Structure 1
Amino acid sequence: MRNEAPNLPIGAVAAIATPEINAPPTRDATNRKNMVLLIQLRWIAVVGQIVTIAFVTFWFGIALPIMPMVGIICALVALNVGSHIWLRHRDDVGNRHLLIALMLDVVALTSELYLTGGASNPFTCLYLLQVTLGAVLLDARSSWSLVALTALSFIWLTIEYRPLALPHHHVSDPFSLHVTGMFVGFVLDAVLLVVFVTRINRNLRERDAKLADLRQHAVEQDHIIRMGLLASGAAHELGTPLASLSVILNDWRRMTAIAADPALADDFAEMEAAVQRCKSIVTDILVSAGQARGEGSAPTTLKVFLTTLVAEWSTARSARNLMFRNEFGSDPAIVSDVALKQAIVNVLDNAFEVSRDWVEFVTERDGDMLLLTISDRGPGFDPAILSQLGRPYQSSKGRPGGGLGLFLVVNVIRKLGGSVSAWNHRGRGATVRLSLPLSTLVIGEPSGD
């Protein structure tokens, strides 16, 4: 089974693949994820401050202003709890929200440093953590605002701070203690930077990948729309000459010389049938081009819809080796969708082209999903096609215009709320599965068996 040129009316797929004008824009969740990272970093800061206060107080015997520092820690905890609640009721997080969060962290760090020696505290290097995160997360103007705030905070700490009283019986060399603190602060700063910047970059890469997919999807949609307009225009232009041919052939068949010759009469009958077939194709394109799903559809049942489809397809292709099994169970009333019918026919054609001796078509139910599975015994899909299922011009034959079959099928099924999957068998052959929610087809509420 290979991805080949489609039998699906181009105009129909152009209309189906076109996104609705009023569809809501896709929200960028990257800033939301980054806000979650900042909240996690704040929890780490809370734990780190508690550990540092306990270590300095009980190990070095340094008298710290415990109550004010505990008050700052409680304020950070309250900020984090409030941030969690706030995020639950927000779908979008903007640059301004990230800037406010980072500024609050700078204020909290400045307050702790004010109580523990000011600018002489070796943990002033943690300002660089906030600045670096701001450079990665924020726009240029906000990043410079954060730089200005940290610089002013550092300058203020050189003027206003609460000095620490170091006990000489525990601290014989204050400079060595300061260097040790600088080393601990450097290691902590470096570790947090690597951990959180790496995770932020991962979020940004995911966002860029989504944007690339959206751009590719827009290009594909534009391509299909152009194809639909071209097909619709061609259908209008072909309508008049086909009608003229039909009238002329009908008049010629009434001529005595032609009616008296059986062989010539048979030829004219075949010509008339061919013209009628062309007129039917043109009519399908004109009816389908630009219409939304549901127009031109008719109520039927799932069993009748599939049985009729299989019978028409087998007759038109003279295919006697199609194995059709309806394992759905019940027979719900559905809307006969022209685009869905053409999508199924297109997959059947692709399977029949590479596996004329055996094609299997199975209908199943999985909860509220309709599964349409088509298998063959052909050479299977190329790995490149499977990895980019539904992309245009992914064909193994390399003929001009090829590779649109599964591309159009995927767009039709996605528009109907479903999905398309494909895989190769271990031995020989491949399978394509169309998964559709019953709610898009069934008349009324679908009920489980």
Structure 2
Amino acid sequence: MTMDLATKFGPSSRRLRLETLVRLRWVAVAGQLLTVILVAYWFDFSLPLMTCLGLVAALAAANALLSVAFPPTYRLEPVAAFAVLALDLFQMGALLFITGGLANPFAPLICIPVIISFASQPNRHSIALFVTALAFITLLAFTPFPLPWFEGRTPEVHPLLQLGMWSSIVSMMAFAAFYAYRVSQEATLLADALTATELILQREKHLHQLDGLAAAAAHELGTPLATISVVAKEMERELGQDERYREDVQLLRSQSERCRDILRRLTTLASEGEAHMREMPLSSLIEEVIAPHRELGIKVELIELSSRVGEPVGSRNPAILYGLGNLLENAVDYARSKVTVTVDHSPTSVTVAIEDDGVGFSPGVLQRIGEPYVTSRQGESRAGGLGLGLFIAKTLLERSGASLQFENGETLGSGARVVVQWPREFMEADTPL
């Protein structure tokens, strides 16, 4: 289920909000307009003023049109976002082309649409925009328009310096785009994994609340069913000797009694089992975690280092059950023949260690545990690799107050070991988890 969630909420499902682009473009309009006015009137440099103002006005008009045509919350499809960013690229490229090309100190700003695209759009659109920007940067090196400068002076840029400027802008654009892409990818994966974590935790809580729903259903259905039972008894007394109705009346009464028995069992489950379902000692919690994994062909050995007398009694926390269960399932997947679960408690702490006799964590995985979608150990498992489930388990356990330590055995290939430790007060019944 978690991998389906990751697919559903992955990077391809993200949409760039139009309002974000609109605000950024107004900043660009203001900056370009201020720069053109300062160069033309403050420094009194010669430049194609009307053409520059026309390009700035075109960007402002396109921005105003988008603001009027779409609501602020509208999110752009990838193709539409590519078109908007390409328009920004063309406008900036044209403005730089008529004001000195690569000699213009503002030439690196042409990278901005590409960086935005790599941070928010699918790769195919971003790469297309990168190639377009690369063509524009190359074209800027051959512009016939000089850099606006003092009257009577024409700054000359050596071709080697032009090449250096071209190389620096292209390399900056490539590095910044890749960096934005990686940061965006990691943030998206983390957000998707946390979403899956919340959904799984909610599912566990809903399952835990089914006993209350059963009690409510039994209470609501009890009164009408009792009425049906009374009427069935009266009908049996009056029509029990009539061959035409005897079997039907007996069937009606027997089925009503069966329904009452079912509701009685549901009521008993909800009332008598409520206490042990809501609160359980540490030993019972560990046994509930281990039980589903005893029949999988791998021996699961439980070692209790401290006595059950005085063990902590805490609330039945779905987050702890799921987290420990996932860690144990992973250990069973990679074990050769045996998994050891060691439990210890003291007046200040509760410790659970899960150790298998497999090949252990590879150095690369050991360094990245805690990130979503870490997908391999040193060897192959029987039921899949380390993936989103381990991230979810770690997140849930840490939210319950635990600290986790992942390590390998003392010798090479002696298995993996996970130590989970809580402050004792986090495992007591009077502490909300």
TM-score when normalising by structure 2:
0.41
Q: Which has the higher contact order (CA 8 A, sep 6+)?
A: 1
